[in-house]
Amino acid sequence: MQPTEVRQIVLDIIADIALDDDVTKIDDSIALRDQLDLDSMDFLDIVMELKKQHKVEVPQEDYPKLATMESCVTYLTPKFQALQ
């Protein structure tokens, strides 16, 4: 799976969770919480949806690696590739 595909998966999950936010304007290098109205529960929902929809597990100690869209893609791309 390519990084652009992983990015779109994350965007789709965020769009389903943060219904009032415009995910099309996300700056990949800025923390998602600084751009979107995401609280801790929303963040956990994102992690749970990755597991539920795509069988991708993110251990709690790796949560900081999902701070920005760029870091999400960097962290998640190898995980998605391992599932193929």
Decide if pLDDT at 20 tops 90: no
- What pTM was estimated for this model as a whole? 0.92
pLDDT score for 28: 96
pLDDT score for 37: 85
- The whole-angstrom separation of Cα 41 and Cα 47 is 10
- The whole-angstrom separation of Cα 60 and Cα 81 is 21
Question: What average pLDDT does range 26-40 have in this prediction?
Answer: 92
Question: What average pLDDT does range 54-67 have in this prediction?
Answer: 96
Domain range holding 26?
3-83
Q: What is the mean pLDDT of the chain?
A: 94
Task: Assign residue 14 the CATH number of its domain.
Answer: 1.10.1200.10
Tally the domains of the chain: 1
